[in-house]
Amino acid sequence: MQGKADSHGTFAIIISFAVAMLLNVMPLPEVIATFKPDWVALVLVYWVMALPNRVGVFSGWALGLFVDVLYGTLFGIHAVSFAVVAFIIQIIYHRLRLFPRWKQAVNIAVVVGIHRLIVITLTGIVEPVKVDYRYWLPLIGVAVLWPWVFVLLRDVRRKFCS
């Protein structure tokens, strides 16, 4: 029975990443799209924090390759940035779990900001990139939506991964 529960938990994790990828490419009105968080990064942060023994740097790398294909970006850019995000979260998840949700949200926005910085830096190596303040506005969406993402994915984890 243990193997069956593990496979269901893995399926739930994969489905949550697939839903996050769909949310990332879903068109929204410009006012809302300006603050749209990187859903894949949020979901990755949650799973690394919740199940660091199952979701980690390699998962971030593999997920990043899928995102590179989804966006049509240079192959490996998101892989590197998501691997770094997973690594950072694996280092700090013990402390991060103890924080109240609003402190978690601020810290996770910083980590997602590092992800965005890596993506823009690596993209800038290959092609000219113009970045203004609007590139960083989704971090507000990350901080605002983190408590709800946390609660939703915690319920999914409790139902399918335990």
Question: Residue 5: its pLDDT value, please?
Answer: 47
140, containing H or E segment:
helix 138-160
Question: Residue 3: its pLDDT value, please?
Answer: 47
Question: Residue 7: its pLDDT value, please?
Answer: 63
Residues of the chain with pLDDT under 50: 1-5
Domain boundaries, the chain: 2-160
- Please, are residues 108 and 146 in contact by the beta-carbon 8 Å criterion? yes
How far is residue 105 CA from its own chain's centroid? Answer: 13
Question: Residue 6: its pLDDT value, please?
Answer: 53
CATH match for 2-160 among 2.30.30, 1.10.3430, 1.10.1760, 1.10.3470: 1.10.1760
Question: Residue 8: its pLDDT value, please?
Answer: 65
Long-range Cβ pairs for the range 115-124 (8 Å, 24+): 115/38, 115/41, 115/81, 115/82, 115/84, 115/85, 116/38, 116/81, 118/77, 118/80, 118/81, 118/84, 119/73, 119/77, 119/78, 119/81, 122/74, 122/77, 122/80, 122/81, 123/73, 123/74, 123/77
pTM for the model = 0.93
